Amino acid sequence: MTSFDDRERAFETQHARDAEIQFKIIARRNRLIGQWAAQKMGLTPEETDAYAKAVIRADFEEAGDEDVIRKLLGDLTSAGVEIDGDTIRRALDERMVEARRQFIEAQ
């Protein structure tokens, strides 16, 4: 019975570790997409940093990426940037690849 319990604990530990890594990668992706959007809006470096943090916080509103997409789409449109949801989704996908690469390199 102990070997079964040990395997179960190992799986639980691995699942928790995987979830933590995924959380960190998504937060990094959100920072990158926030910087991308800030550049399109012509924000200063200080405003860019604050905006990237706001994008990270926006992801806590609901599960999935729709909360981030809504924020970016609303903010970019308000700033006069011509953009649509599909363009933002593609940018998110590109930033996810970059975030994973950065995370791996940091290890």
**Whether pLDDT at 34 is above 60:** yes
**Whether pLDDT at 96 is above 60:** yes
pLDDT tens digits, one per residue of 49-86 = 999 999 999 999 888 899 999 999 999 999 999 999 99
Q: What is the mean pLDDT of residues 20-38?
A: 97
**Burial of 80: CB neighbours in 10 Å, binned 0-12, 13-18, 19+:** exposed
User: Regarding predicted confidence, which is higher, 81 or 4?
Assistant: 81
Q: Over the chain, what is the mean pLDDT?
A: 94
- As given in the structure block, the two tokens for residue 100 are 């994973």
Residues 6+ apart with CB under 8 A from 62: none
Q: pTM for the whole thing?
A: 0.87
What pLDDT, on the 0 to 100 scale, is given for residue 13? 87
End-to-end CA gap in the chain: 36
What pLDDT, on the 0 to 100 scale, is given for residue 1? 57
Task: Give the integer Cα–Cα distance in Å for 40 and 61.
Answer: 24
**Whether pLDDT at 37 is above 60:** yes
